[in-house]
Structure 1
Amino acid sequence: MLTSTHLLRRRRFLPLFVTQLFNAFNDNLYKTTMVLFVVYAVYNDESTEAAFSGLASGLFILPFFLLSALAGQLADMRDKARIIRTVKLCEIGLMTIGAAGLYMAWQGILVQSVAIPLLLLALFLTGVQSTFLGPIKYAILPQHLKQDEVLAGTGLVEAGTYIAILAGTILAGPLAVEHTGWAAMGIIVIACIGYLVSRQVPAAPPMGEVEKLDWHILRASVKLVRDTMHNAEVYYAILAISFFWTIGAVLFIQFPPLAKNTIMASPEVASLFLVVFSIGVAIGSVAINTLLKGRVSARYSPVSVIVMGAFVVAFYVVAKLWEADQPQSLLGVGAFLAWPMATVLLGCLLGIAIAGGMFVVPLYAFLTTRVAPHKASRTIAANNIVNSGAMVAGSLVAMAMSAIGIPITEQVLLCAAMCLVSAWLGKRLVAAENEAADLAATMRI
């Protein structure tokens, strides 16, 4: 905790932390407002709502799959701080497109033919922006921080990201239907502030030999993943992270329609679900750093994801009990909290998120500490390619289950099954970690 407080007072960390905070806040204010508005104000069918939620998630994730190789090359071969400033400047333009879509949809102007396509275009461009920032926010840390500060910095970035998601999600709930115009204005203002803060990030020039960029997206992606996965620790960390975010993607697809059609909750309550999830991941991100005392290790990851799966099953059971005694009209926050088992439902969500945060944060630290510093960005980019492919697959599975009529509540069990796979991968990572430590000890002798 002292290390974390120390970092927040340093220019080598604070501007990056705040820039990422504003970026995550704005992304989620926009995404959550857009999805809740469409689910609650445009469509009125569970399968259509789930399909739109899945389409939105897929469009946001797709750029990670297509462009991460280029993003990783740029981050390792150009000044990372300069890339951050360029991307944040572009955010002002893409949020203007999103604001136009939100305002038109709110006013009922060409909703299906123009407004929704504009919303989805802006969401795709937001994914492009995050693709180019993704390799930097973790890979820049070993460049600006001491070795014993990297895990604390990674935990702070992860916790800060989820605090920002929390704030954006809280604000999106009340703005989503009644005051969407304010959200449209806000995302442009926040993009401008984020750009100004990004100008304070210290320079982070390339640390190795500057190589020629490979603009062939498919070839570069295949080469990047192949070159990265030969390290056993990195290999299992990437696979485990991929399954974790696939679980997260499926849960986030399910939340809005599940909240509306099973829990019978208002947009504010749907927003509350995402808020609780974000708080939990932030708590887990900080807690695991305290447990590990700054050491990068996956030893708590297998048990963390098993606990996460148990909470997913508990959430499913509570949702089924809720379905059996369902309200007749949408519940506001107060009415929801007064409903039997509401506290248990939120407790299950919180448990899922805390365990998830404890599982994933050390894995990101592996990606930046188990490779040469000049390859850190490309390692994160390779991780993003595999993650996004897995998340798109998860989104397609969720959409397919909705299309064939599997109820949203039953789909939650898919996440519990994926937790078992993540636990196995976490166990394999711990074994690889121990083997690497034994080898290093032998070489010292």
Structure 2
Amino acid sequence: MIKKMLPEFAFSRRFAPLFATQFLGAFNDNVFKTALFVMIAFYGLARDSWLPESQWLNVGALLFVLPYFLFSALSGQLATRHDKAKLARYTKMLEVAIMALAGLGFLLQSVFLLMLCLFVMGAQSTLFGPVKYAILPEYLREKELMMGNGLIESGTFLAILLGQIIGTVIAGSSTHVVAGVVLLIAALGLASSAFMPSTPPQNPQQIVSRHIMQSTKQLLRDTKKQPELFIAIIGISWFWFIGAVYTTQLPTFVKIHLGGNDNVFNLMLALFSVGIATGSVVCAKYSKGKLNLAWVSAGAIGLSILGTILVGLTHGHAFSGSLFQCVYNGVWRITLLKR
């Protein structure tokens, strides 16, 4: 049944190992991060530290996202210079090592060690990011690229949703369970990457700059030369920024304002994901495959108004506000992706 719904290449070696590797990577990112945040917010992991629990969540979100800004240019250079499949395997080896260290952090209940692992995990994901998209044209035919991109994108969101749910569920288990789960997922990702076909380097003479900030500035200058691309990048970055803010603050919001536990937090995460999916479907249906920037304005206005309303809502009313907020988020994102 599934084979009839998906294209033939989806089950071939030139796509399936890549899909599995990126899916497991995004899945593990969110299992680890969500389990850590839930353990801090609801199970007192950072109770004896010098920072309040809510502040640790903000620090964790910053540490996970910061590598994307610092190392994106570097990761692009590495992906251009080297065999992308081999680079994917190296990043997955790094992930196994990071998760082994994170497992030790869970066993010792060391919030400092876990925050270090969160930062390095963000760096590892940054290194893998250009690989999973840049390798697609080398694996797929031109007519298969759109479907391949769509499968990777949808797989990423599914991995994020499932990772957040599983992370919340296992956070209430023993630290041995959490440590074992994240290490197992990392090992599976490494195993799947071993089946990715090798590809010739795109440009073996590509210079890999040691000056990280200089490379980042140059990357920003290059994108500014293409106004439409730059605006789309800003819009998509804003989408991810809003998503990060909401998912980071949700544990504190649920605990303090809703008086809920980790199960309520899980429900809020589900509403957040359903809202984004609903907005994406609505936008895709009514735009009829054409770029319509009115949807960007509608999404931005909806985000602003409902975000303001959500501030004043507590208890049960907050659920409806969250759902509609995310619908507008999805509308905005799908329009910018088309751009």
TM-score (norm 2): 0.86
In angstroms, what is the RMSD of aligned CA positions? 2.9
Q: 1:186: how far off?
A: 0.6
Single out whichever of 179-188 and 15-24 deviates more from structure 2.
179-188
Single out whichever of 79-88 and 144-153 deviates more from structure 2.
144-153
Q: How does 1:7-406 map to 2 (within 5 A)?
A: 7-42=9-44, 48-105=52-109, 115-208=110-203, 210-281=205-276, 299-300=291-292, 302-304=294-296, 306-307=298-299, 309-310=301-302, 313-314=305-306, 317=309, 320-321=312-313, 323=314, 326=315, 341=317, 344-345=320-321, 347-348=323-324, 350-363=326-339
Q: 1:49: how far off?
A: 3.4
- For structure 2, the residue ranges without an aligned partner over 5 or more in a row are none
Q: Provide the C-alpha distance between the structure 2 equivalents of 1:102 and 1:6, rounded to a whole number of angstroms.
A: 42
Amino acid at match of 1:162: F
* 8 Å contact kept, 1:12–1:144: yes
Amino acid at match of 1:100: L
Q: Provide the C-alpha distance between the structure 1 equivalents of 2:21 and 2:294, rounded to a whole number of angstroms.
A: 32
Q: Provide the C-alpha distance between the structure 2 equivalents of 1:68 and 1:318, rounded to a whole number of angstroms.
A: 33
* 8 Å contact kept, 2:274–2:323: no
* 8 Å contact kept, 1:259–1:265: yes
* 8 Å contact kept, 2:73–2:212: yes
Q: 1:349: how far off?
A: 5.2
Distance 1:352 1:150, change over 3 A: same
Q: Provide the C-alpha distance between the structure 1 equivalents of 2:28 and 2:301, rounded to a whole number of angstroms.
A: 30
Amino acid at match of 1:249: A
Distance 1:198 1:123, change over 3 A: same
- SS of 2:200 mapped into structure 1: coil
Q: Provide the C-alpha distance between the structure 2 equivalents of 1:347 and 1:38, rounded to a whole number of angstroms.
A: 25
Cα deviation, 1:287-328, whole Å, max 9, x if unaligned, reads 7677778x7x6x14541562364266346536634x2xx5xx
Distance 1:213 1:116, change over 3 A: same
Q: Could you say which structure has the greater relative contact order, defined with CA pairs below 8 angstroms and 6 or more residues apart?
A: 1
* Matched residues, number: 333
Distance 1:358 1:62, change over 3 A: same
Distance 1:258 1:132, change over 3 A: same
- For structure 1, the residue ranges without an aligned partner over 5 or more in a row are 106-114, 327-339, 364-445
Single out whichever of 65-74 and 3-12 deviates more from structure 2.
3-12
Larger Rg: 1 or 2?
1
* 8 Å contact kept, 1:67–1:131: yes
Distance 1:317 1:237, change over 3 A: closer
Cα deviation, 1:115-172, whole Å, max 9, x if unaligned, reads 0111101101101101101112222223323334333322221211111111111112
Q: 1:361: how far off?
A: 3.4
Q: Percent identity?
A: 33
Distance 1:34 1:263, change over 3 A: same
- SS of 1:66 mapped into structure 2: helix
Q: Provide the C-alpha distance between the structure 2 equivalents of 1:284 and 1:144, rounded to a whole number of angstroms.
A: 31
TM-score (norm 1): 0.67
